[in-house]
Amino acid sequence: MAVTDQIHWSFQYDGRSQAPVFGERLIEIMQDTVIEDLVDDSAIVDRYLVLPNYWKGYRGRGLEEGDTQVEIGEVVVDRKQISSGNWKYDVRFLNQTSGEDLRLDFECLDNAFCTLTDSWNVSAVNGANSNDPVTCNWALFDVIPNMVDVMKISGDRISLTMLEDLEKVRENVRIGFMESFDLQVGNEVIPLDGFFNYGEGTLSSYWWLDQQGVVRIASTVFQTLVLISRKTGGGT
């Protein structure tokens, strides 16, 4: 069976118009993923490699002819619970191709929706005029695992307002369960649960969680994030 036959359509970007190494690299990354035992659930750092959903012949900035490197950057989601009980997030999104180096820090309440607190919560609620919980798109790595049972068992979709990159208010964002999928990674089969995320003015995305509730793959229109490591205790 070819690698391309093992990958779900929502994060499959090999094809006639794309370079045929995307799927192979995704599987390689997942084979190398290191997830530490959760000895301290008050401080967790997830690191994702960024794969572009690109066209045939694409090469990242600075790569020479023949260089088969696929990944173009990384995302680090570092969160820890602080003395107030809130969660402090430090997020970095580095895109080596575009040169973007996005760094965010914000606080969320200790609830399932990871509701933004402090000035972000107030300004977003006032600006959006929304009764939905207000969160940040970079907190979805925790929001979706928090709500798995609600969405998967009941079939209900959750509704929230999202402050995208702490800048753009997106109202009426919907998240729901899509389907389960067994991903073949080498000699191992990893059962995944897939969830969709869509809303007016925001790009649709697909989120795939393993049986421990860890986001292993998150795919948008332009890029796919693949977990390479999860560590506890804080620090990247």
Mean pLDDT of the chain: 84
CA distance 49 to 223: 10
Domain regions of the chain by residue span:
3-232
CA distance 228 to 27: 11
pTM of the model: 0.82
What is the reported pLDDT for 128? 42
CA distance 152 to 168: 29
Q: Which of 86-95, 123-132, 142-151, 211-220 has the weakest average pLDDT?
A: 123-132
pLDDT at 26 over 80: yes
Contact by Cβ (8 Å): 33, 216: yes
- Please enumerate in sequence order all residues whose Cβ is within 8 A of that of 5, keeping only pairs 6 or more positions apart, or say none: none
Q: Which residues of 168-195 are buried (b: 16+ CB within 10 A; e: fewer)?
A: ebbbbbebbbbeebebebeeeebebbbb
What is the reported pLDDT for 119? 56
